[in-house]
Amino acid sequence: MIRSDCFSFLCGYHVYMAKEVKIGGGWKEKLKDQFGEPYFKELTDFVREEYTKATIFPDPKNIFRAFDLAPVDEVKVVILGQDPYHGAGQANGLCFAVNPGVRPPPSLQNIFKEIEDDLGHEVSHDTDLSRWARQGVLLLNATLTVRAGSAGSHQGKGWEQFTDAVIKKLNDERGGLVFILWGNYAKAKGAHIDRTKHCVIESPHPSPFSAHNGFFGSKPFSKTNEYLKGRREKEIEW
């Protein structure tokens, strides 16, 4: 049985096949070379089939939400995640974020704690994080879809090649961006970022398994704003 919220996706309203990718913010033109690649056709075939036979997160309309909310020419900060959350109602297309009203996962709770310790004042605990994206923070997962209850289930299908291309475009064609890399996976994915033209902030992952090993106290949020201020750019209201 095909879920009703996937029907329009399969019929074309949210189709992201090579010539009909529904991605906004100027990204479609920037990434057009990827959409015609064989790997991308294989990826879209795989994901489309997955939506017909299983519960997949996020909702189809939110697969490219990180790009829609952070136009390519307005990106100032990139935060790299790995997979969308795989629990019901969680994933919303932005890494580390969950839908409004959903209990924040431990990593997001630790992120909020570090922001407040870093900046020295309370901040919004709105779990959606779209307020960051609209300020030019690209909240990019390496893999953009996942099966419900099955972490990593869409890894190795082509998403990583696509998001590597995103990072390379930003690295090569922009200057003065801040890349925030939490954990070994993000550090490896960002290994080729040119640190002579961008600011790279690394620390352990905010997961409870590693947060006390260097994430807490790493001050990525004030460091980001100090860098932006030094470039006379508007700071992020975390």
Gap between the Cα atoms of 199 and 194, Å rounded = 9
CB atoms within 10 A of CB 166: 21
Of the residues 33, 59, 73, 83, only one is catalytic, namely 83
DSSP-based three-state secondary structure for 84: coil
The string of DSSP codes covering 96-111 is T---TTSPPPHHHHHH
The answer to whether the peptide bond before residue 58 is cis (omega within 30 degrees of 0) is yes
Asked about 73 being catalytic, the answer comes back as no
The string of DSSP codes covering 131-182 is HHHTTTEEEEESS--EETTBTTTTTTSSHHHHHHHHHHHHHHH--S-EEEEE
Would you please indicate which residues are annotated as catalytic (active-site) residues?
83
